[in-house]
């Protein structure tokens, strides 16, 4: 079958319209910012699982870089399994979820409010239990998502995170409308992704690395390949990769490096020098600023902003996942053993 025959393809293709709807819904981000400003916030906890947790890494980095606040990732099982009752004085909890139905997220969300937190929820289902649990709800506006592998809802979580921080920083009305056009441009030139998907070898080790804002996409690409092509893939920070896992690297390995336009060259230089010593196949996704001869590059966004380019490039990793799964004879819309809503306790 052709990639365009799958629901996953049509949902990836909806990203520009999703972006436009989110950008036009600035009032919900302004309300969230006003609620935050009415409180004393000393730290932030992000509550999410799976793909939404990957988007949470992007939001975490945004808050730490732009606002200078410490940000942690929640351990939902501490509440749902171990019955913890955390003290969330002066804490903002931001919950991200496509469906808003997972029991452990709901348990932690309830405990956070009982512990004194301000709770903001971001879901793609505005009447979901998690949406109703929040002090403020942000609608991701992605529309129904049928394919099990999340695509447009993940991209929406990234953009919603950026719009929330814009509002929180007082940049209300900041013009992000160009992101819709940037997304359309990205989706109109996917031939390099098709070519790479056809040559990526499922029998050889695949490693995906990124850093900074792109760490979220590195984890998401690895997850999506595992979900849809059923092979183990590492998705890591390039810095963490040097702390042990790099020892397994060989010539036979395929290393996908996420390098969005606008990323400082110094973020990846040291890691790439070490990686090249093992002579693996290196593929750059985003920009070619650090690529050398014989290393393939799949160009993504050309925007100057790293945080914006990361959002646009998310469609590349989704389309790559789709093409790779189809090449391997799998149906990416309905991966074996998975369902659209994962109800973890």
Give ∠ CA 252-257-262 in degrees, rounded to 5: 160
Q: Does residue 77 belong to any structural domain of this protein?
A: yes
CA 113 to chain centre: 26
Q: Which domain holds residue 316?
A: 186-325
Q: Say whether pLDDT at 162 is over 70.
A: yes
32 against 172, higher pLDDT: 32
Q: Does residue 338 belong to any structural domain of this protein?
A: no
- Compute the distance between CA of residue 145 and CA of residue 100 in angstroms, rounded to an integer: 13
- pLDDT at site 341: 73
Residues 263 and 311 in one domain: yes
**Sequence-ordered strand ranges (E) for 9-107:** 43-47, 71-73, 91-97
> 221 - beta bridge partners?
none
Global pTM reads 0.96
Q: Measuring CA to CA, which residue among 50, 72, 74, 47 is closest to residue 61?
A: 72
Segment (H or E) for 73: strand 71-73
pLDDT tens digits for 92-145? 999 999 999 999 999 999 999 999 999 999 999 999 999 999 999 999 999 999
Residues 193 and 87 in one domain: no
Q: Does residue 282 belong to any structural domain of this protein?
A: yes
Q: How many domains does the chain have?
A: 2
Number of Cβ within 10 Å of residue 340's Cβ equals 13
Sign of CA dihedral 64, 66, 68, 74: negative
Q: Does residue 156 belong to any structural domain of this protein?
A: yes
Q: Does residue 340 belong to any structural domain of this protein?
A: no
pLDDT tens digits for 48-76? 999 999 999 999 999 999 999 999 999 99
Residues 204 and 257 in one domain: yes
CATH number at residue 52: 3.40.50.10490
Q: Does residue 290 belong to any structural domain of this protein?
A: yes
Q: Does residue 337 belong to any structural domain of this protein?
A: no
Confidence of residue 13 (pLDDT cuts 50, 70, 90): very high
Confidence of residue 173 (pLDDT cuts 50, 70, 90): low
Q: Does residue 190 belong to any structural domain of this protein?
A: yes
pLDDT tens digits for 200-221? 999 999 999 999 999 999 999 9
């Amino acid at each position: 079958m052709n990639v365009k025959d799958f629901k996953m393809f049509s949902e990836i293709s909806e990203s520009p319209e999703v972006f436009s709807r989110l950008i036009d819904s600035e009032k919900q981000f302004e309300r969230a910012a006003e609620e935050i400003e009415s409180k004393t916030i000393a730290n932030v906890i992000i509550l999410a699982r799976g793909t939404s947790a990957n988007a949470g890494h992007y939001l975490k980095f945004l808050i730490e870089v732009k606002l200078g606040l410490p940000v942690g990732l929640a351990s939902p099982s501490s509440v749902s399994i171990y019955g913890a009752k955390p003290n969330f004085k002066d804490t903002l909890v931001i919950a991200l979820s496509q469906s808003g139905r997972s029991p452990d997220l709901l348990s932690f969300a309830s405990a956070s409010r009982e512990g004194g937190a301000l709770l903001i929820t971001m879901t793609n289902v505005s009447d979901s239990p998690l949406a109703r649990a929040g002090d403020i709800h942000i609608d991701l506006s992605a529309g129904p998502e049928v394919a099990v592998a999340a695509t447009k809802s993940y991209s929406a979580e990234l953009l919603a995170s950026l719009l929330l921080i814009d509002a929180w920083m007082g940049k209300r009305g900041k013009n992000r409308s160009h992101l819709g056009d940037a997304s359309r441009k990205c989706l109109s030139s996917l031939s390099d992704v098709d070519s790479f998907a056809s040559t990526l070898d499922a029998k050889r080790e695949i490693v995906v690395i990124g850093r900074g804002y792109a760490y979220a996409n590195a984890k998401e690409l690895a997850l999506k390949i595992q979900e849809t092509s059923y092979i183990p893939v590492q998705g890591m920070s390039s810095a963490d990769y040097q702390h042990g896992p790099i020892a397994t690297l060989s010539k036979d390995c395929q290393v996908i490096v996420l390098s969005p336009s606008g990323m400082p060259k110094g973020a990846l230089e040291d890691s790439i020098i070490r990686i090249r010593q093992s002579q693996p196949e290196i593929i750059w996704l985003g920009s070619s600023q650090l690529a050398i001869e014989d290393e393939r590059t799949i160009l993504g966004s050309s925007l100057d902003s790293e945080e914006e380019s990361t959002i646009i490039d998310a469609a590349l990793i989704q389309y790559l996942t789709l093409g790779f799964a189809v090449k391997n004879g799998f149906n990416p819309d309905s991966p074996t053993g998975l369902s659209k809503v994962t109800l973890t306790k």
